[in-house]
Amino acid sequence: MGKKIMLQGTASNVGKSILTAGLCRVFKQDGYSVAPFKSQNMALNSFITKEGLEMGRAQVFQAEACGIDPVADMNPILLKPSGNHRCQVIVRGKVREDMASSKYHTYKPQLAKELKTIFSEFSNNYDIVVMEGAGSTAEINLREHDIANMGMAEIADAPVIIVGDIDRGGVFASLAGTMMLLSEEERRRVKGVIINKFRGRKELLEEGIKMLEEIINVPVLGVIPYSDIKIEDEDSVTTRFKAVQGKRDIHIEIIRTPHMSNFTDFNIFETQNDVSVRYVGYGEALSNPDIVIIPGSKSTIDDLKYIRENGLEEQIKELQKRGKLIFGICGGYQMLGKKIKDPYHVEGEVEEIDGIGLLDTETIFEKEKTTTQVEAIIHPNLSGYMKNLSGKRVKGYEIHMGISKPGSEVSYLNLIDKKLGEEVSYLEGSINKNGNVVGTYIHGIFDEIDFTRELLNSIREEKGLEKLQSNVTSFDEFKQNEYDKLADLLRENLDIQKIYEIMTEHENKIL
């Protein structure tokens, strides 16, 4: 079994996921085989592996930082909230059960036994495993059956570093209070702390750091400055949704529904210099965007009701009449159709509901979830904004419960020719006759820069603007450069040598 280190936090959104990715990249650059691991992840952002298994997206970008393919055992337990104190429990990439929170709490001891086996098998394949906790490490009301933080550190016998976020204020109290709430055994496992997201002059912190170290009896391993490195966020607590970029040639608005999933589908737009993105939240109206995107959803019917009740449906229809592009991904695709039917009560008591009606499609929810990776070719002879995209290759993954059947008033969007690496041939997606309403089940379709840049240039052409080349050659290359920037940031501001020593000493049981 190789070395391991675990990053835990004083709270959610302190930067554990990104720091985990950064350490993964540092260790990879130093020549080690390294992998991420997060025992339990609660998120609606998920990914489908080459094996057709589902996992949290945070461990996907961390795997990218390691230079390896993501596998489901990097995130063996994924919880997808479904409302009313219930969540879908996914274990090793497959749905196990839809559980109430109370039942899940009593189910954890069984999962702890599985995690011990999973981690032992997994960690044997790598020189270093960088582990990530979930939420706060000092959730004293959940300690008894904890499998996400100190409970997992004990299962893996891993040393722990605690991360605090100074940007939100009170970082010294957060770190000291967290240590105080840990048991004596848990405190012995903590080998250092990191102060993250600092915006000021570090010399102003020096006295406070000395005082903190005297109180908690472990070293501050580094102070990481706030940075604008463009790497995926862990979940919907991200500040990305609050940001509005400056005025640019093309403006995209994404409807932030209550159960929005896979918002990482749209990170690619941030790499394009002529694009601004705005997430439209509760109580907000659409403005005058060039593209409206309805994203994926964990609860399609509830999110459709939200769009309808908040007046967004009529705004979407008006924008479509004015020739704007309306694009639906997965659940958003289903909403754009004429009907959604749920005969097996997959989502709730509503068996049938009218869709927005901009696509001549009808969706029927099935009992089994579709989880697959696909590759496709955009269908020939499309109209409107898609007219110049015929023949473009795209790829991504599907996660959905329904099948959408097209009517006579739409054309298929693409031909799927690969599924989980095997050659296939079937049609997918829909586009209306005017070519300004598009729907697909393929998450990640925008990550293909040739497809996305040509689509953006179709918007530019419609507005009488010159076409532009992408300012990145590929999204993957862009991300790899960002991981290198992150590694540089950590090397400059973290005691990496001390972290190596912590792992080695713990491996040798010098506690």
* Mean pLDDT of the residues in the chain: 94
Contact 95, 48 (CB under 8 A): no
For the residues of 220-268, what is the DSSP string, one character each?
Answer: EEEEEEP-------SSTT-GGGG--PPP-SEEEEEE--TTEE-GGGGGG
The Cα 354–Cα 305 span in angstroms is 10
Give me the helices (H) in 44-165, please. Answer: 57-66, 101-123, 150-156
Instruction: Provide the whole-model pTM.
Output: 0.92
CA 201 from chain centre, in angstroms, equals 32
| Strand partners for 292 | 253, 326
253 token code pair: 């608005």
Sheet holding 94-100, edge to edge: 40-42, 77-83, 86-91, 94-100
Q: List CB contacts of 159: < 8 A, sequence separation 6 or more.
A: 4, 5, 6, 153, 189, 190, 191, 502, 503, 506
Among 97-101, 158-162, 311-315, 417-421, which is the least confidently predicted range? 97-101
Burial (0-12, 13-18, 19+ Cβ within 10 Å), 141: exposed
281 token code pair: 């939240």
Is residue 236 predicted with pLDDT exceeding 50?
no
So what CATH class is 250-462? Answer: alpha beta
Task: Please tell me the number of Cα atoms within 13 Å of 282 on its side-chain side.
Answer: 6
Burial (0-12, 13-18, 19+ Cβ within 10 Å), 343: exposed
The Cα 292–Cα 423 span in angstroms is 33
- Comma-separated ranges of CATH 3.40.50.300 domains in the chain: 3-231+479-506
CA nearest neighbour of 406 among 440, 424, 429: 429
pLDDT above 90 covers a percentage of the chain that reads: 88
CA nearest neighbour of 317 among 278, 346, 371, 359: 359
The Cα 139–Cα 141 span in angstroms is 6
* pLDDT range class, residue 260, cuts 50, 70, 90: very high
- Comma-separated ranges of CATH 3.40.50.880 domains in the chain: 250-462
Residue-level pLDDT at 243 = 56
User: Does 87 participate in catalysis according to the annotation?
Assistant: no
Mean pLDDT of 159-184: 96
Q: Is 135 helix (H, G, I), strand (E, B) or coil?
A: coil
The Cα 99–Cα 117 span in angstroms is 23
Q: Which residue has the higher pLDDT, 241 or 2?
A: 2
So what CATH class is 3-231+479-506? Answer: alpha beta
340 token code pair: 């959604």
User: Does 345 participate in catalysis according to the annotation?
Assistant: no
CA nearest neighbour of 435 among 358, 333, 363: 358
Amino acid at 363: T
Residue tagged active-site, from 251, 379, 400, 443: 443
Residue tagged active-site, from 87, 259, 330, 506: 330
Mean pLDDT of 337-346: 96
* pLDDT range class, residue 245, cuts 50, 70, 90: low
Residue-level pLDDT at 417 = 97
Mean pLDDT of 408-422: 97
